[in-house]
Chain A
Amino acid sequence: MNDAGGNGSAEDLARAAAIAIERYSLAYSTAAGPFHALKSVSLTIPQGRTVGLVGESGSGKTSLAWAIMRYLPPNAVEGPGVIRLGGENLIEKSPAEIASIRGRRISMVFQDPSASLNPTLRIGDQISEVLMRHQKLTQKEALEEAAAALERTGIHRPRDIMRRYPHQASGGEKQRVVLATAFACGPECIIFDEPTTALDVITARQILDLFVRLRDDTGVSALYISHDLALVSRIAHEVAVIREGEIVERGRPAELFSSPKRDYTRALIAAAPRPENRLVTSRIAPAAEPLLSVRKANVRFGQPTRLQRLLGQTRAPVDALKSVAITVRPGEILGIVGESGSGKSTLARVIAGLQDFTGEIGFADRRFARRPDLDRSYRRSVQIIFQHPDASLNPRQRVKTILSRPLRLYDLARRGEIEDRVASLLSRVLLPANFSTRYPHQLSGGEKQRVAIARAFAAEPKLVVCDEITSSLDVSVQASIARLLVEIQAATRAACIFITHDLNLVRQLAHRIGVMNRGELVDMFETGDVNAADRHPYTRELMEAVAVPPWG
């Protein structure tokens, strides 16, 4: 366990440190025996500095946050070790003392802003109550101070926002409110638990910039917890990597990335998608005959029925797709990038025949104008893979049944051959043959997504639509799935539409990239011309917002 810097005794270091954690262990007693979440962890957050804590899900990073905030579930068993806030050991504090410390000397910002605001209370009250509790302000003074705090977050028309209820504010606005609340009482330290993950890329970037500005203005020390190494490295003075409850390595970001000492850190860095190491080498002739050509595709949601119009409930309909046109050439990987709500998933569902549309789909030499026209041969040659692995497999069917279904449906294998065809499909997605008898709940997220991929390619499709298939996986698993997809695609020469919000990842594997915004295809370019002059302004805005790892 190497210690940062290693100079001077632990005490004086601690005095200077806002937060000092020494050899702290934590376990959760469960029916299946104790689960060791933190194993003798030591971590110091110097005054006015920001320490990044990076780890995958289940690494114990959030447990550490709870330990610091003294908000542990009843089945938590704390081992030896000390957590000091400005020299005082929090573990010995009484609940009353802890209550007075929380929000005043140390506060916390959560991942999902909309969940951490009380839906039945106005926003203004949720900020002022902290001020009234800790600063003993009157309600009027507290509301004034709250408005000022909101002002500082750069939110426009703060007084108007304060009167509104949480469901009337956007994700970005809500996170600004949470930040204002956290900074309101000028705490000594603030813990950030993945504050930008639930936001879209551009808003996330704005919130990050806001965090840096507020931190520098107030000089508060901060613990920034995240799974995104690249992002943390841009804002943290020091980064610690945590794995299964142990801090594997820590150091300044630049050193850590340039010369990682531990294998796990190295794997983490490698897994983070970087545009430069391309996974796809093949070239697609620009003039090739397109396999799929979508023309003037329109989708409108919430069209009031005659009866509703009669009763005067005409809510404005939403146009999810506005005359989108794209083409995909055989063997090509077309990347589609856009924020949530940009219509990229709707486009995927239209192509896969799951969403009614107006306009025209051309496939090979056939034309389809309406969803019911999409016949079985079209559906066999166009397959779709979904984002959430555990929702895309029927929980009551074994892997064998799931994989054999397409074979039987398109009678690609006689009864006898099914068994070993399934085995070969499993091996193609690097899963052992004995997985065929398992149920989905017995597989990990990554393994389930591999089965989904195997199911898609079982039909020997000409086009596979991938709708954010890596977004809900851990970073390291994401990388392996991406590589697997590219290998199978190359082997089968099937075309692929790869939809994602992660610009770095799409630049690694797509031939061409389309950018969508509010239901329109605003840009389409060869991956290489990503920084060309004639890029659409929205594309450029996206490029800046995405954190590119600092090295190289």
Chain B
Amino acid sequence: MNAAYFVRRLVAVLLVLLTVSLAVFVITMILPGNAAVMILGEYATEDQLRALSEELGLDRPWHVQYLGWLGGMLAGDWGMSMRLSLPVTTVIGEAFWRSAALAAGALATVSIIAIPLGVAAAMRRGTGLDLGIGLFAYLGTAVPEFVTATLLLIFLAGPSSGLFPAGGYIPADKSLPGFLYHMVLPVATLSLILTAHIVRQVRSEMSDVLGSDYVRAARLKGLSEREVILRHALPNALAPAVAVISLDVGYLLGGILVVEEVFAWPGLGRLIIYALQNRDLPVIQAATLTLAATYALSNLVSDIVIAVLDPRVRYA
């Protein structure tokens, strides 16, 4: 993996983030009913609204605000949250790791379940197992997250079964088992939909590989079926599978928004929904940028993993 490739990719990520920051800033700038009204709420009078918006700098020309904001972002001073009167960095800092835990849990679960399922479906193409997996894959992608979350809530966390806590969060340092126990349902919801999506992709990648010339050549060399699958087919199907999973990180980050809202998981997703409803501009801008940065970096990481798996990319 030569350094030039790495540098080029990093530059691309920075460029992407710059575009996102500009887009997010412009979008938040034209929010109707500005933040001051939201903060002071029903009891504010006109003069108070003006005073607060001056204080928040909402009246300066937008490009001045953008440069000021961008400068601040780079210098690590992400400003103060308008409603929570806490520095944005702390607000996002805490929330980010909680969402990261959910995302990691979901990605791990998906990799453990979706890849073997996809491979099995491809190897048993046309049999009952393949059709069953296909149906599950279609159903999984046809049901929105909040419906799956609600169903899990009723059946697995309801007073009758009481298997899992109905949402809520316990910090890992306080009690790790409690932390993991509360993660089960949110991760299950996210994994259900992601697995459905990825099984189909892995299945088609694997069936491509199984139909390839080099797998045929391996079989015609008299290698056992196990050797053909493990040494020849699987390694070649893994690289594209990783690429597909990294693309779905965006899908996952979207799903987190809903899952955190339903299961009261105080992560970045819920922070964004709160910020959008309360027009908390600095938090909206910073949180969206963080999510976009995570997604861009996850693509970079997956590129590296792919390079490790596929020599053709490594020695490009």
Residues of A within 8 A of B (CB): 69, 71, 99-104, 107-108, 110, 112, 115-121, 129-130, 133-134, 165, 167-168, 178, 181, 311-313
Contacts and interface: CB of A to CB of B under 8 A. Distances in A.
Nearest to A134: B222
B94 interface: no
6 contacts: A100-B222, A118-B235, A129-B223, A130-B221, A133-B223, A313-B8
Given A167-B311, A167-B312, A133 B236 contact: no
Contacts of B223: 99, 103, 129-130, 133
Interface in B179-216: 212-214, 216
A134 to B, nearest CB: 6
A71 B223 CA distance: 13
B4 A116 contact: no
Contacts of A168: 315
Contact of B221 (A119, A133, A312): A133
Interface stretch (B55-63, B132-140, B224-232, B288-296): B224-232
B211 to A, nearest CB: 10
A117 B217 contact: yes
Contacts of B224: 99, 133
Contact of A311 (B4, B219, B235, B239): B4
Given A116-B213, A165-B312, A129 B227 contact: yes
Given A104-B222, A117-B214, A119-B310, 18 more contacts: A71-B220, A101-B222, A103-B220, A107-B221, A108-B220, A112-B213, A115-B212, A115-B213, A115-B214, A116-B213, A118-B235, A119-B311, A120-B309, A120-B312, A121-B235, A130-B221, A134-B222, A312-B4
A107 B222 CA distance: 9
B220 A129 contact: no
Contacts, number: 85
A112 B216 CA distance: 13
A99 B222 contact: yes
A168 B314 CA distance: 12
A101 B222 CA distance: 7
A112 B224 CA distance: 23
A181 B221 contact: yes
A311 B8 contact: yes
Contacts of A178: 217
Closest 4 CB pairs of A and B: A103-B222, A102-B222, A115-B213, A116-B217
B34 to A, nearest CB: 40
Contacts of B309: 120
Contacts of A129: 221, 223, 227, 231
A311 B311 contact: no
Contacts of A181: 221
A69 to B, nearest CB: 6
A118 B214 contact: yes
Contacts of A130: 221-223
Contacts of B27: none
B11 interface: yes
A242 to B, nearest CB: 21
Contacts of A110: 213, 217
Contact of B311 (A108, A120, A134, A313): A120
Contacts of A99: 222-224
Nearest to A167: B312
A100 B219 CA distance: 11
Contacts of A100: 222
B11 A311 contact: yes
A404 B196 CA distance: 51
Contacts of B235: 118, 120-121
Contacts of B214: 115-119
A118 B236 contact: yes
Contacts of B220: 69, 71, 102-103, 107-108
Contact of A121 (B222, B232, B239): B232
Interface string B77-95: 0000000000000000000
Contacts of B312: 119-120, 165, 167
A108 B221 CA distance: 8
B7 interface: yes
Contacts of B227: 129, 133
B243 interface: no
A110 B224 CA distance: 20
Interface string B1-33: 000100110010000000000000000000000
